[in-house]
Amino acid sequence: MEAPFKTLVIREIQGAIIDFRFWVVLALCLSIIPLSFYVSVKNYSQRLSDYQQEVQSYRDRTSVHSHMAAEGVHPPSPLSIFSQGLGNKIPYKVITSNDGNYGIEYAKPDNRQDLLGEIDFAFIVSFVLSILAIVFTFSAISGDKESGVLRGTLSNAVLRRQVLMAKLFGNYLVFLIPFLFSILVSLLVVYFSGIIPIFSTELFPAVMVMTAISLIFLFAMFNLGLWISALARNSILSVNVLLLIWIVLGLVVPKISPIIGSVIYPVESIGVYESKKAILRLNIMNELEKEERELFLKIRNQLRPGAEGVDGRWTDVISAYDEQYAPVREKYDQLLASETEKLVNDYMLRCDRQNNWARNIARLSPVYAINCLMAEFSGTGYSELDHFIQQASVYQKYVEQNYYNKMKFKIYRDENGYMTRGAGNQDDRPTEIPVLENYKSVGIGQVLQQNWVDIMLLCLYSLLFFVCGFISFLRFDVR
């Protein structure tokens, strides 16, 4: 059994190597993959320089005072050279405020890049190499039938499963030679650039995982090609059907899934959500101002009957007001925090449900799965987006506790106007500018935990396509 299988594998390898398609794959892999990494490293270097300049500019233009707006800039991910992922949808910075209402800013898109597009490793694997895998396998069975080679092979003492396994592994191994060699060359290009420590213990495990995921995806596409080749009557029909399937899986399903998700579970836009949050905050603050004014007028009329306006020399009024105002402010702070949290959690929950609908529909395509996984392990996917938003909230609380609360101004309102005065000990006020230091992206362990379903789906697609191809080949008419 083993000798015929070994002979078949060697024959498939030899046939694939002398085939013109192998040299096309070799030329494309050795040219576009290292080139894409070289360009991506240059782009990352520019983004890193922009990040450093932004942080330095923030330090230079910011001083510690009561009306300062502390900023935290999101550093670029070194592994973004593999996948740009969500691109400009990844948060660029968080801008805090002394009233607790922080905001998220996003990078402005480069219109030239949007027009011309940007190629990266994820695009090459999911689109270019997947098409090349189809080109490699569309005639593996139907072409041998047309030439009579398959009939001659099966007339010998070989099993059909041996023929199929030889075609699969023989062609797949030959396909991997230029692919893996080009990855090695690309990693050396990145390493010798001196910009990204690609072989470090922090980055290299993610690189290995993305390489393994790419191999699983390409294996699934090879099985798909062999399956359709075993179903089709001739090579022309096989390649046409494969191209149609690739268009559906690669373009139609991932693009239409967000539309279907928004129809099944509609959610208002981010602009409407921000408006609701602003209105909620405005209404609560208006109620607070009303109670502040009523409280001040009540204390003034009790301690200084007949007086008008607000006078900073009224130490008795101000002391009594400060004492009674503290629980009022605490009540409204808690109300604002709880109501805002309810609004945010409700909106995020509904967005998650809509995204889950869209994502589950998109998972019908292995092309979506590979792109999603590449973005997640590159630090440019949805996990990183959610992670930064969580860290933005933590940063706001840190700045509020250590800076804003030590520089608050108290407001005393009467029926016509108001007076402000600083609060807190001047010696206790901070002097250093708050920055978002030591920010770390989502770790590889957390990414694996959050995206194991997509990894299992890629394995399932490989198994499903293989089983379908195996059954189809067992029933294949070689005459």
Q: Are 107 and 85 in contact (CB under 8 A)?
A: no
Q: What per-residue confidence (pLDDT) applies to 113?
A: 53
Question: Residue 422: what pLDDT?
Answer: 64
Element (H, E) at 73: strand 71-73
pTM across the whole model:
0.86
Each residue's pLDDT expressed in tens, for the chain with a length of 479 residues: 456 778 888 888 888 888 898 999 999 999 999 999 999 999 999 999 999 999 999 888 888 877 788 899 999 999 999 999 887 788 889 988 887 778 888 876 655 555 445 789 999 999 999 999 999 898 888 888 888 887 887 777 778 888 889 989 999 999 999 999 999 999 999 999 999 999 999 999 999 999 999 999 999 999 999 999 988 888 899 999 999 999 999 989 998 999 999 999 999 887 888 888 889 989 998 998 898 888 888 988 888 888 888 887 888 888 888 888 888 888 988 898 888 889 888 988 898 899 889 999 999 999 999 999 999 999 999 889 888 988 988 898 888 888 887 777 777 887 777 777 766 555 566 778 888 877 888 889 999 999 999 999 999 999 999 999 999 888 877 66
pLDDT value of position 115: 46
Written as six digits, the tokens of 143 are 């072409």
pLDDT at 151: 81
